[in-house]
Amino acid sequence: MKAIISGAGIAGLSAALFLRRKGWDIEVIEKAPGLRAAGYVVDFFGSGYDAAERAGLLPALAAKKVPVTRISYVNQDDTERSVLDYGQFAASLDGRLMGLARGDIERVLYDAVADHISIHYGTSISTIDNRDDGVSVRLENGETLSGDLLIGADGIHSRVRELVFGPEENFIRFLGYHTAAFVIDDAELNRELDGVFRILSVPDRQVGIYDAGEAGLTVFFAHKAASEARPADKAAALRKTYGDLGWHLPALLDAADRCDDIYYDTISQIEMDRWHDKRCVLIGDAAYAVSLLAGQGASLAMGGAYILGEQVGDGDVERGLAQFEAQMMEDVKAKQAAGRKTANWFVPPTGFHNMVRDLFLNVTRLPMFSFLMNRFFAPSTKSLIH
């Protein structure tokens, strides 16, 4: 059996790994010229953690784990307003949580599978012939590939989804925010941060900085936005939105001007009633982006790839794709709904909302109220792998 996978992100490389272990041949098509380090530090837990454990990847991931102990919400003068105790968050997940730079997860997957598959970098699919008994694709570089299954793991703006299921606007739900992230090298700022993950929180805007060790200093931004159009000049858009703020913003915005790999996107979800058609299936953000607000896109990308591998691995593709959808669809929709509800928590719209979050975080750090933290996170952190 042979799978063609569009996208070598976390979903695509995970699918390659899990299907290769079932004996499939794999060809991956990735539009970027190579692996990319860009991205933020993700909370890796739930389905992704379980999938990584079954693939034997936990030691390699643990070696890249960033030592977050606390997330400190601060004012513009750097005074602390509240703290999320990362150890307590981990305890609410029975310790099955790692803070990992997105690019490091991709790197660990790549190292595990790259020698056993073929990856075509720097190209993309231009046409798809999707049949009941197989699939063929033509690449922009002129090559043609054929296989038993095409997996669209090409992210929220998926080309495969567009070609097989229709235009993006039929499936995307804009949640009213933009986000950006990049990695910088700034030894002086690193020293100042002293290992603490700091988040500046002002109404409708958040900026986080964290020293992710070898992965560099990761910076992320999230802010309310009226339009779903993505700006052509990302650094200029960040300066326009955050240029009036103090704290570390002047240095961070200068760093953005110098950075040539800024991740910038709308905060959106992808909602579909089915993820497969004949011999084509979507996974990860391409199928079910839950958004930054739900905070588990990377985990669900790897978890979904594992479930797909388990379901279609034996070669009964038609039955397996139906089972894959049945196993995941309902839980994914619940996670998306939960994510939408946390918008005011994630980027508080007013000073009052900010205060309420501060109060919640500070109170739940007290042992007698720690159960509230479990209750808050438990429904959305449940794994889909049983």
Ligand X SMILES: Cc1cc2nc3c(=O)[nH]c(=O)nc-3n(C[C@H](O)[C@H](O)[C@H](O)COP(=O)(O)OP(=O)(O)OC[C@H]3O[C@@H](n4cnc5c(N)ncnc54)[C@H](O)[C@@H]3O)c2cc1C
Residues that bind ligand X (CB under 6 A): 6-12, 29-32, 36, 38-40, 102, 124, 153-155, 159, 179, 181, 220, 263, 284-285, 292, 297-298, 301
Residue 272: phi and psi, rounded to 5, are -135, 155
Q: Cβ closer to ligand X: 165 or 220?
A: 220
What is the rounded CA–CA span in Å between residue 219 and residue 264? 12
Q: How far is the CB of 128 from ligand X (least distance, A)?
A: 12
Nearest to 145 by CA among 35, 34, 29, 30: 29
Q: Cβ closer to ligand X: 220 or 247?
A: 220
Q: Are 317 and 281 in contact (CB under 8 A)?
A: no
Residue 176, helix vs strand vs coil: strand
Q: How far is the CB of 219 from ligand X (least distance, A)?
A: 9
Q: How far is the CB of 284 from ligand X (least distance, A)?
A: 2
How many Cα atoms occupy the beta-carbon half-sphere of 290 within 13 Å?
28
Q: Please classify residue 101 by burial: count the beta carbons closer than 10 Å to its beta carbon, then call 0-12 exposed, 13-18 middle and 19+ buried.
A: buried
Q: How far is the CB of 259 from ligand X (least distance, A)?
A: 12
Q: How far is the CB of 384 from ligand X (least distance, A)?
A: 15
Q: How far is the CB of 292 from ligand X (least distance, A)?
A: 4
Q: Cβ closer to ligand X: 297 or 339?
A: 297
User: 36 to each of 103, 191, 194, 235, how far by Cα in Å?
Assistant: 6, 26, 26, 19
Q: Cβ closer to ligand X: 13 or 312?
A: 13
What is the rounded CA–CA span in Å between residue 65 and residue 98? 6
Q: Cβ closer to ligand X: 16 or 90?
A: 16
Q: Cβ closer to ligand X: 199 or 298?
A: 298
Q: Are 125 and 6 in contact (CB under 8 A)?
A: yes
**H-run or E-run covering 357:** helix 351-364
Q: Are 296 and 380 in contact (CB under 8 A)?
A: yes
Q: Cβ closer to ligand X: 103 or 348?
A: 103
Q: How far is the CB of 4 from ligand X (least distance, A)?
A: 11
